[in-house]
Chains A and B, each alone.
Chain A
């Protein structure tokens, strides 16, 4: 298991704090939405970064008002078949204009990385013996996209419009 961010294998500065653990005094943490609701004030008193973990049936709408305090949203894929997180990521970026880290966690299949990246994810918890190598292979799968999805990359239609040829 490794965390890939901006195309690099990085050490995860965040600690996942489960609901039965106490939040450590220092250091960036990721908590569930329930914890956030209960301990919001305590968490905000800390000076470290906060992330929230959303399960696939937890709509980011519920934390839309709090996004200014958050530097990370982890979206869980309980199974690679459950595609809700793609829409959550897009809503986070486009509707709620969240610019922090959106991390893919759970059943993150390499073959779906390009979909995730294009939907607004920018960090991936990758299950592999050599996560970086796996990531690089998967990331190289596509260089052309038909859709504009707000990740900054130009769609085929836009490139055609600019007279750019492949």
Chain B
């Protein structure tokens, strides 16, 4: 895990000091709201429906227990006792006071987290695989490159006023848990023909009102050229991206307009000019950062699987949790544990200060003090001894952090929606809660298997609805909340965008529609086929008929 040195600390302190001064100028009236707004946004401070909302970056999703305790402290002291984890590996506080924000940010800076660039037309929090460094199929730990990119992009003098926001994700595994194809830049590690590690570089992916799957701009990039290549992509975008229309300003639009080949040509020209530049990241710096991510000192442990089997046989609830929430660790005797923030009657992604403290304590006791947050709004303990699993499970239960539904239909991504968000058309959270009420039968959920439901309150798509197996998008129809369903989305290595099912439904009809879709799938699937595969094989028609009836199907084109 990266730790700030005096340079990092100084920079962040200077940032807080600058913001303190800006807030003072705003409160005294020296700055107007128009002038101040971009300054506060660059520090993650929004004005939402109820108050100021602060978005804090968890860099590439990795946290220590000390940071989690600070998150709890902030929730208690500066907000109303809870926080919300988002799909961008951020935590959000919903009732932050402007005048207190500089102090709050100073407290966060002590534990090396910030709101810098969690908003604004700049490079946002670099996101990554939440299993990074702990999973067998990984080629190398992507966090090393994430941290290099973090430092490279924080307060970048040239790229802080891009045409639009810019998101970068990195994965070190062929299995993509970081949705890299849905980012402005997606980096996917792989070996070239001579077996050397490098990156496939994807560009121009994104969600929002014009969802696009990223295209490959470079098949293989040597890691030492990563910054130069990213710089070339950013410079070409900064100079050519559209600035006349906010809805056409993302890089995906200019990549489509120019065509990927022309964009590649421009980037390559620039890259060729700058790549030989002595101003790369010094090798010593790369080694320094690598050292931070060296694996912890694992104990020599026996494989505990057999003993666990006995415990699993004895306790069905434990068995369920083991099969759904626990993943294999690359080191013998250890396991990866997912803490789902998806208890049925809870707000997905929300966690109270009390629970945060408890999680921090448990991380110290069972996970070497480290944890992660993933883009599906769950927490992860990455270094749990297999022999501790049963104890840990017993302690997570009362905290409502052991709901055994990871990857299942009720593990829904849900954006804050109209309950909090200024841009929303509709409430996302109540829809998730309604669906939950319809899917209480654990055995049925297991039988359904892998099934992602992603809900966004508007077309900005913070809830990733385009890439949910079932996507649910809130729309406003003459002042009433309606929901548009899509089918067949996926954010993994075979990413695809969902297709529209039909006309939008009122909120009360959504759960029944999901039921109909699920029943149809269960009827027509072959063997253990996932919903996504059934949909890809069969297409929309049976699902459409199930939801709207056959008469309707003919009408809707």
Contacts and interface: CB of A to CB of B under 8 A. Distances in A.
Nearest to B18: A141
What are the 4 closest A-B residue pairs judged by CB atoms, nearest first?
A83-B161, A118-B157, A156-B7, A157-B285
B5 interface: yes
B39 A111 contact: yes
Contact of A147 (B152, B243, B288): B152
Contact of A84 (B7, B154, B239, B274): B239
Interface string B1-26: 00001111011001101100110000
B22 A145 contact: no
A45 interface: no
Contacts, number: 104
Contact of A80 (B17, B38, B152, B284): B38
Given A146-B155, A160-B288, A87 B282 contact: no
Interface string A100-123: 000000000101101111110000
A91 to B, nearest CB: 8
Q: Chain A interface: which size bin?
A: 35 or more
Nearest to B156: A147
B273 interface: yes
Chain A, interface SS category: helix
Contact of B151 (A82, A157, A158): A157
Contacts of B10: 143-144, 166
A16 B63 CA distance: 54
B160 interface: yes
A30 to B, nearest CB: 23
Interface of A: 59, 80-84, 86-88, 90, 94-95, 109, 111-112, 114-119, 137, 141-150, 156-161, 165-166
Given A87-B239, A161-B285, A80 B14 contact: no
A143 B14 contact: yes
A82 B161 contact: yes
A115 B282 contact: no
Contacts of B14: 141-144
Interface string B261-274: 00000000000011
A157 B161 contact: no
B7 A160 contact: yes
Contacts of B5: 160
A81 B38 contact: yes
B238 interface: yes
B26 to A, nearest CB: 11
A159 to B, nearest CB: 7
B285 A90 contact: no
B165 interface: no
